[in-house]
Each structure stands twice: as C-alpha cells, then as structure tokens.
C-alpha cells in the first residue's frame, strides 16, 4: 500500500468510528422511544390505586373503591389480608404476586399489584392512555464525545439509602463507585444493583441542568459491568425516569453523593408534567 493510501486509511478510521458511534446512539434513541410507546410501556401507566386492608371493589361505577375508566360497572374485587393480595374476577379467585407480570385484565385495562415498603397498590395500564396519545417524541442534547467517559471503578460494597418519590427509604446494594474527570474536575457516582442477577450498574443522578433543561428529579444511566477496573459512562444515554412520563410511577431519587456540581449537557432533556 502506498504512503498516501496509508494516510487516507489512518484518517478514515476515526471518521468510521464516529459514524459507528452516531449510529449506535441513533439506534439507542429509537429503541428508547419504542419502549415507551410499546404495549405496557410507561406511557400506558394511567392509574395507581392504593389498597386498604380487606375488600377493594373495582369497576366503572362511582361507588367502587377503585374507579376504572372502562369496563363493567362492577368488575371484581381485590382483597388485601396480611400482606397478601387476591383478585376475584369473572367468577374465579386467585393470588396476585406484587411487582411481577401477574395481571388482572378488564377489557383493554391491565391491573398489577405493586408493593412499596409494605404499602400495596394497583397499577393500571391503558393502551388508550392520554399520556400515550399526547406523546410526540423525546428531545436530546447534541451528541458530544466528551460525555462518553472511561471512569475508574472502586470496589466498596455497602448498602446505601435510596428514597423514592413517596418519601419511603430503603437500603439498596451498591458494589462500589466510579471516579471520572470532566473538564479538568473529578467527580464520583455510586451505582446501585437494580437487578441482583446482573453485573451491570445503575446510576440515579442529578446535575446542574436538573430542573432546567432536564427533568427536575434527576435522570438514570446504565453502564456495563466493570472491566479491568474501568467503567464506560456514556451520558449521551442518560434518560428520564418513568415519573417524567406518568404521575403514577414511584421513582427512586438520587442519593446525596450522586448530586453532581456540574452541567451534564448530554442525553434526554426535560419531558412531561
């Protein structure tokens, strides 16, 4: 190969890498919006009803404990007894496990049990949700390479308190923290283990754009498991929590150590109510 061709090849390599990365981000954004719009996505979450001990009737009639937007006037009942939830629907009674795919279906509506620190509720998903009808896509900061950062991972296993928007605080497992440099300054973020079966890291963070260009309660970021003591933090993939899209989510809030004194002008911008 001639010297000129070698030079062209060396120039082309970083350009190819940039194009590949742009394609990766474009694909990630498409999948992100598709997930929100999908059947059962967060845009379909159209109600949250807290159960009281005993019988909770549900249907469209106004005298029900849980008033639904569609279906029969008297559809069935949920019973909460000693932290156990059952549903009676269509003449049969069965258990519903919290925070699983166990569902009670009423026409187009899907009803699930959630457990938040011993407080039990029914989350309703509706494919005709107003949130889904009003959704016209997400807005993002311009893609910037400086926000794709190789961070150092420090093993420091402990439980940290995570508070949700209901004001409930629970200890969550954290495997350590990451240290990274941005514009000459060093910062830390501490992940929690969202899925105990996965080695991937989940960050809940705020920065100086929060409440301005980005969602006030903060944003989420995921990263692959540490490799050789390094973690790739790609803030271009920072995304809004479910609470940005529906008032019926119960999102976790950033712990104090994840409130960054820097503007992270990357990822999803503000959305929602």
Has residue 143 got a pLDDT over 80? yes
Spell out the domain ranges in the chain: 1-37, 42-133, 137-273
Beta bridge partners of 120: 115
Residue-by-residue DSSP string for 102-125: --EEETTEEEEEEEETTEEEEEEE
Answer for the pair 45, 131: CB distance below 8 angstroms, yes or no: yes
What's the pTM?
A: 0.90
Only one residue has tokens 């390599």, namely 13
SS3 label, residue 220: strand
Across the range 12-27, mean pLDDT stands at: 78
Q: Report the distance separating Cα 219 and Cα 217, nearest Å.
A: 7
**Site of tokens 């970083």:** 14
Residues 235-239 have a mean pLDDT of 98
* Residues composing the chain: 273
Q: How far apart (Å, rounded) are the C-alpha atoms in residues 104 and 42?
A: 18
* pLDDT value at 1 more than 90: no
User: Would you state the pLDDT for residue 271?
Assistant: 82
Taking the C-alpha atoms of residue 93 and residue 79, their distance in angstroms, rounded to an integer, is 10
- Half-sphere CA count of 147, side-chain side, radius 13 A: 19
What CATH class has 42-133? mainly beta
How far, in Å, CA of 78 to CA of 91, rounded?
A: 13
pLDDT tens digits, one per residue of 190-229? 999 877 777 899 999 999 999 999 999 999 999 999 999 9
């Amino acid at each position: 190969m001639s010297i000129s061709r070698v030079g062209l090849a060396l120039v082309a390599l970083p350009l190819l890498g940039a194009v590949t990365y742009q394609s990766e981000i474009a694909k990630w954004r498409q999948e992100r919006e598709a997930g929100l719009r999908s059947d059962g996505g967060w845009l379909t979450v159209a109600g949250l009803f807290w159960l009281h001990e005993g019988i909770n009737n549900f249907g469209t009639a106004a005298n029900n404990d849980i008033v639904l937007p569609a279906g029969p006037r008297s559809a069935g009942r949920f019973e909460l007894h000693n932290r156990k939830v059952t549903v009676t629907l269509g003449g049969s009674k069965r258990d519903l496990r919290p925070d699983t795919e166990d569902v009670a279906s009423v026409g187009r509506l899907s009803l699930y049990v959630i457990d938040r620190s011993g407080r039990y509720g029914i989350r309703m998903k509706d494919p005709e949700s107003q949130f889904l009808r009003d959704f016209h896509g997400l807005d993002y900061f311009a893609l910037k390479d400086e926000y794709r950062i190789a961070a150092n991972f420090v093993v420091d296993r402990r439980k940290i308190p995570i508070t949700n928007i209901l004001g409930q605080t629970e200890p969550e497992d954290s495997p350590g923290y990451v240290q990274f440099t941005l514009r000459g300054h060093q910062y830390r973020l501490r992940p929690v283990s969202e899925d105990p079966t996965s080695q991937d890291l989940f960050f809940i963070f705020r920065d100086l754009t929060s409440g301005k260009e980005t969602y006030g309660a903060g944003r989420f970021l995921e990263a692959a498991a540490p490799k050789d003591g390094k973690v790739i933090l790609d803030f271009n993939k920072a995304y809004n929590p479910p609470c940005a899209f529906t008032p019926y989510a119960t999102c976790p809030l950033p712990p104090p150590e994840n409130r960054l004194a820097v503007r992270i002008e990357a990822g999803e911008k503000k959305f929602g109510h």
